[in-house]
Structure 1
Amino acid sequence: MPAPERVPSRSLTDTEPATVLTVLAEGRLTVRGQVRGASNAVLYCTVAHEGEEVTCVYKPVAGEQPLWDFPDGTLAQREMAAYEISEATGWGLIPPTVLRDGPYGQGMCQLWIEAAPRDDGPDEAGEPPLLALVEDEEPGEGWKAVALAETGEGRTALLVHADDPRLRRLAVLDAVINNGDRKGGHLLPGPGGRLYGIDHGVTFNTEDKLRTLLWGWAGEPLTAEAVAVVERLGAELEPGTSLVTRLGELITAVEIEALRERVEGLRVSGRHPEPSGAWPSIPWPPV
């Protein structure tokens, strides 16, 4: 299948989330190409409905590679569950996502986010970098240290990420959903200063599998905003709520209980989690 060519489509704004979801769920899905380099099938598509057309990513279940440590459900279902939690936070950190049938069967269908340009120099206008390697032993102002990284020939550099409130929200979301794969390439700056996270298939495991490049706040107190979100999530995850009913169609009851425990743990500690040491804390490759 050819690599995808960008297909022009009308951009639906953030003020039209219901319209976006309707188009994604009910529209005619047309495969335009394949996103190369992914371990599972990732198809670039257009979806059209009642005069609206958007571009999207379609990940059919039939194209998933089985994972021994995620034996239940599908990656597509976990992506959908992650979207449900993102929406419950009120932060809107994951692009609009639905589960639907498509040309290759049921799969996850997610609005395509065209990443904003990066600012790679003093004369370039665009989104400032979110990750960097620096030769200093300590991060500079506006940066948080992650880990030392090998750069070849016995040299090391400090991996840092921006001290950015958008990234900090994602760090909280990842802790809640137990994201096992928060890579740099999964961070998409969008229009209007928005920041989205994508690729949430390895989430909601009952064991601690948090692997992320966003460890810069590890052990630090949660922001007041995050504390309020965690408390609200705890209430919305009580048995019998509409959120739990939707999650029950996507992940197992044991995974939902583990989700409750993680949220309660964040509420009680009031702090960002730290690496447990029982699992590699940084994904590979990191980008």
Structure 2
Amino acid sequence: MSATDLVTAELTITGRITTASNATFLGAIGDVVVVYKPRAGESPLWDFPSGTLAQREVAAYLVSQTLGWGVVPQTWLRDGPLGEGMVQLWQEPDPDHSAVDVVASDDVPEAGWKHVLEGEDERGRLVTLVHEDSPALRRMAVFDALVNNADRKGGHILAMTDGHRYGVDHGLTFHPEHKLRTILWGWVGEALSAEELDGIDRVSEGLDGELGRDLAELLGAEEIGALAARCARLRSVGRFPAPAGEMSPVPWPLF
């Protein structure tokens, strides 16, 4: 199906994703399965302007495309049965694998995983939040730092059968104030790779060109300026950021 058809062909609702905090529907455009989040179904938030989550999702996709890492599935704005909203290509994750897990603290994997935090389960047993130590998740963590993702839950990471990792649900992004809340803290203080630094440079340069023009249709000038500042700061420091400020560094719930 062409890009034009994805915007103009009829979108039909086939189901509702009831675990989402905002109105989120499974839909179809012809034989293409999509996620549809109408702007009218967005819940009001105290710290983000009302009715802006859909365009933030599209802005996150544009940054992902500029990075060149395919973190975010194809996402666009269009009209639908419940009005204009965000539409995203549906991705079917591997049902037998998760990139993030909570395990008993005495059973933390020795290799290939990063420790994030410890806590207690409902029975008072010590448990540990872990995530993969993989290039795909490293790139997602860099992406989250750039877009200032305030809601990187474990369930927002889709582990695909081919090893790719998609990030979804990016409505709480691009706030001009520090809002980074994520479960991907396993690399705090580690040096960014040359590939990761090159990606940051592509975003910085893009803000002076096509990316900047496209984001201006979706975000405010202050938000775009804050994105540029985050790029410059992350590039200058050259390391994965650490939690900052008094707010919780992780979203709740974690999944």
What TM-score, normalized by structure 1, do the two folds share?
0.84
Is the contact made by 1:144 and 1:216 (CA closer than 8 Å) also made in structure 2?
Answer: yes
Q: How does 1:54-65 map to 2 (within 5 A)?
A: 54-65=32-43
3-state SS, counterpart of residue 99 of structure 1 = strand
Instruction: Show CA shifts across 1:182-207 (max 9, x none).
Output: 01111112353221100000000011
Identify the structure with bigger relative contact order (alpha carbons < 8 Å, sequence gap 6+).
2
Give the match's secondary structure for 1:158: strand
Aligned CA distance change for structure 1 residues 137 and 278 (closer, same or farther; 3 Å): farther
4+ residue segments displaced more than 6 Å: none
CA deviations 1:204-238 (Å, max 9, x no partner) are 00111101110000111111110111122111112
The answer to whether structure 1 residue 274 and structure 2 residue 238 are counterparts is: no
Q: Distance in 1 between matches of 2:98 and 2:35?
A: 25
**Residue identity opposite 1:216 in structure 2:** G
Q: Check conservation: 1:24, 1:111, Cα contact below 8 A.
A: no
Say whether the 8 Å CA contact 2:159–2:165 is kept in structure 1. Answer: yes
5+ residue gaps, structure 1: 1-18, 119-126
Query: In 1, Cα distance between the equivalents of 2:41 and 2:108?
Result: 43
Retained in 1: the 8 A contact 2:61–2:75? Answer: yes
Residue number in structure 2 paired with 1:87:
65
Q: Secondary structure at the match of 1:244?
A: helix
Q: CA deviation at 1:279?
A: 1.7
Match of 2:83 among 88, 92, 105: 105
Distance (whole Å) between structure 2 residues aligned to residue 138 and residue 33 of structure 1: 37
Write the distance in 2 (CA, Å) between the matches of 1:32 and 1:281.
36
> Residue deviations 1:73-97, cap 9 Å, x none?
5100000000000000000111111
Q: Which residue of 1 aligns with 2:26?
A: 44
Once the two structures are aligned, what percentage of the paired residues are identical?
49
Q: Which of 132, 141, 153 is residue 102 of structure 2 equivalent to?
A: 132
- Indicate the residue corresponding to 1:233 in structure 2: 203
Bigger Rg, which one = 1
In 2 relative to 1, CA 167–70 (structure 1 residues): closer, same or farther, beyond 3 Å? Answer: same
| Residues 240-271 of structure 1: CA deviation (Å, up to 9, x unaligned) | x1111110111100000000000101100001
SS in 2 for 1:105: coil
Whole-angstrom distance in 2 between the partners of 1:75 and 1:152:
33
Counterpart residue number, 1:114: 92
Unmatched segments (≥5 aa) in structure 2: none
Is the Cα–Cα contact under 8 Å of residues 21 and 98 in structure 1 kept in the other structure? no
| Secondary structure, aligned partner of 1:215 | coil
| Matched residue, 2:52 | 74
Match of 2:15 among 23, 33, 44: 33
One-letter amino acid of the structure 1 residue matched with residue 204 of structure 2 = G
* Aligned counterparts of 1:22 and 1:166: Cα–Cα separation in 2: 30
The aligned residue for residue 205 of structure 1 is 175
Aligned with 2:32: secondary structure?
A: strand
Maintained 8 Å contact 2:39/2:51: no
Q: How many matched pairs?
A: 255
Deviation at 1:26, TM superposition (A): 2.3
For residue 101 of structure 1, report the CA deviation from its aligned partner: 0.6
1:85-134 deviation line (CA, Å, top 9, x unaligned):
0000000111111100111110000001111232xxxxxxxx46532323
What is the CA RMSD across the aligned residues, in angstroms?
1.7
Aligned partners of 2:5 and 2:79: how far apart in 1?
A: 13
